[in-house]
Amino acid sequence: MAGSDGRREGIRGDTIQGDTMQQPSTSLEAGALPRSPLRSQVRRWSLPALEQVHHRRPGQEWIPHWHGEWSIGAIVHGECLCSIAGAPIRAVAGDVLAIAPQTVHTGALTPAGGVGEVFVVMLYVADAWFAANDLLPPLASGFRHLPALAAAAANLSSLAEVELWLCRALPAIAEHSPAAAPTRAPTPAARQILAALQSAVDAGPLSIGELAAHCAISRERLHRVIRRWTGMSPSAYLRALRVHKAREMLFAGDSLATIAAVCGFADQAHFTRAFRQSFGYTPGDLLAAAR
């Protein structure tokens, strides 16, 4: 559904079904967030996991990727041109976004009207957090125009403030949300192929041809299954699987060099670039934020 300003409506009216080099980012210690217009900033708390990221660089882009947690974001300044599960949207200042776990999406930040600043706050919320706080996640991916909440997201400088904001935002997001529309589920055969791909990538780097042989299907069928059920090219999907495996290895304490080799990246620089293109910050930034 298109709004009067040409935007695709998100949670307000519809649910959403369905390689750009970044500037260096910086991790955060406890206390106020530093203000730096060209750098993404990440802070992470655990038990249960919450992650907070600030993005301020006009022109910053994200390649197709997904997160294992709910992504709750606020557009404070500027606009975010997104594709969420294949649906293009334009989120503007005052909008609050919700993206379901495992949902493939992209993004690009641009100033409103081509001038001015951009500022997007993203929170990544694990299922355990919802359970611990007796809250339900949104029904589906989408967005609503909630300018007071979006403005308040700019000043969240502690875990308590982040949690209070989420406790206010989640009911507001859900208040006028329509019932989640049925989503296409992969067929049993497709689920088996995608699971086999995941296990093959977990075992070590393989080429598309080797992965097809591992799944006992042709390269052509492998391409069709990946494109139909993820919306990604096979190479992009495999890169995303490897980035997520690398993220798990980071938290397990493996070195960057070891992770790059095990996950099939050409070298540590290649790994860092792919990671930053997906999440907006470097592996080192995430490690520092998780300490």
Would you state the pLDDT for residue 186? 80
Q: DSSP alpha helices (H): ranges in the chain?
A: 127-132, 147-152, 159-175, 188-203, 208-214, 219-230, 234-252, 256-262, 268-279, 283-290
Task: Quickly state the pLDDT bin for 196 (edges 50, 70, 90).
Answer: confident
Return d(Cα 197, Cα 112) in angstroms, integer: 41
Residue bearing the bigger pLDDT, 258 or 37 = 258
pLDDT one-digit tens code per residue, 224-234: 999 988 889 88
**Mean pLDDT value of segment 202-224:** 86
CA atoms within 13 A on the CB side of 213: 5
Average pLDDT for 87-111: 94
- The pTM of this model reads 0.82
Per-residue pLDDT averaged across 144-172, rounded? Answer: 95
Mean pLDDT of the chain: 83
Check: CB of residue 72 under 8 Å from CB of residue 96. yes
Domains in the chain, CATH or no CATH each: 26-175 (2.60.120.10), 188-290 (1.10.10.60)
Percentage of the chain surpassing pLDDT 70? 83
pLDDT digits (tens, 9 = 90+) for 244-283: 999 999 999 999 999 999 998 999 999 999 999 999 999 9
pLDDT at 24 over 70: no
| pLDDT band, residue 120 (cuts 50/70/90) | very high
DSSP state of 71: E
The better pLDDT of the pair 150, 202 is held by 150
Which residues pair with residue 220 across a beta bridge?
Answer: none
Residue 55: predicted pLDDT? 95
Query: Is the confidence at residue 25, as pLDDT, over 70?
Result: no
DSSP one-letter string for 190-244: HHHHHHHHHHHHHH----HHHHHHHTTS-HHHHHHHHHHHHSS-HHHHHHHHHHH
Task: Specify which residues 70 forms β-bridges with.
Answer: 125
d(CA 245, CA 240): 9
88 upstream amide cis, omega within 30 of 0: no
Burial class (CB in 10 A: 0-12, 13-18, 19+), 223: middle
Between these two residues, 109 and 199, which has the higher pLDDT value? 109
Residue 11 has pLDDT above 80, yes or no: no
pLDDT for 177 beyond 60: no
**What pLDDT was estimated at residue 124?**
97
Angle between helices 283-290 and 268-279 (to 10 degrees): 70
Write down the pLDDT at residue 101: 93
Name the band, by pLDDT with cuts 50, 70 and 90, for residue 215.
confident
Residue 257 three-state SS: helix
